[in-house]
Amino acid sequence: MTARIIDGKAIAAELRTRVADEVARVKRDHQLTPGLAVVLVGHDPASEVYVRSKHTQTQAAGMASFEHKLPEDVSQADLLALIARLNRDPMVHGILVQLPLPKSLHTETIINAIDPAKDVDGLHPNNAGRLAGGLAALSPCTPLGCIILTKSVHVSLEGMNAIVIGRSNLVGRPLVQLLLNENATVTIAHSRSRDLPKLCAQADLVYAAVGRPEMVRGDWLKPGATVIDVGINRIPVPGGKPKLVGDVAFQEALNVAGAITPVPGGVGQMTVACLLVNTLRAACAIAGLPAPAV
């Protein structure tokens, strides 16, 4: 058996098209232009590339894009003052502070300062709590993308056994809540879980978000399982450029799984697309409009 490759690039492109159509509709019918503000502190090369991608895709979807680039040594007071201004700005419907922040800044304080209605990263405690309670909330973008990718294979996740390997606030924990909302049966595991291969072998859906290159081996998987690989790891290659791999041993899994996301070209493509979804949803909610059809 050779697994179906889940094409995150194509699925993300289709989602961005749907978002652009909805943006055009709310502009036409309600004179509303969703606006996304991204705050970047310092000069981390990976973050700068990611922020440029967000800016390009936000504009391509017909939204307003506001970039705020701050120096590495910006004070916490100045960053909080910027967030307060963005909270008050009626043109801004989504606020994203690019992580990680310099160690001089207290990440939790910064996240907590964002208006929950504009928290398109889904990290504010209000949104995390609502999600945990099964209530409507802005969800973190990567877990949301994982669900969309899974549903490209399975129309319904009801009753399926899922395992989430990784318990971060950004991916693992909110992904568990989204899966519970889909009526899946969920196990949350991590690098210290006992007999992880046995736990994986029982799962119809495997989500690897542990941050360890190729940790999940092919013989851990239940034949025919759907595997969503969230990991992005750079490993050295003798005499060449570092190689990008996921948390799953892809070639091994390819011969066991029913469907699998590649790295790159899988989950990473969905994160920015889901950021656009969240910004559109936030704009409609703030304006008192019905939820958009995305």
Active site (catalytic) residues: 54, 98, 121
CB 260 within 8 A of CB 3: yes
What the block records as the tokens of 136 is 């409507």
6, 152 Cβ separation under 8 angstroms: yes
Q: How far apart are CA 178 and CA 14, in angstroms?
A: 22
Give the CA-trace dihedral at 239, 243, 248, 253, to 10 degrees. Answer: -70
Question: Could you please report the per-residue DSSP string of 88-138?
Answer: H-TT--EEEEPSSPPTTS-HHHHHHHS-GGGBTT--SHHHHHHHHTT---P
Closest CA to 200 of 168, 131, 248, 128: 248
What is the spatial distance between Cα 225 and Cα 202, in angstroms, rounded to a whole number?
A: 9
Helix (H, G, I), strand (E, B) or coil at 250: helix
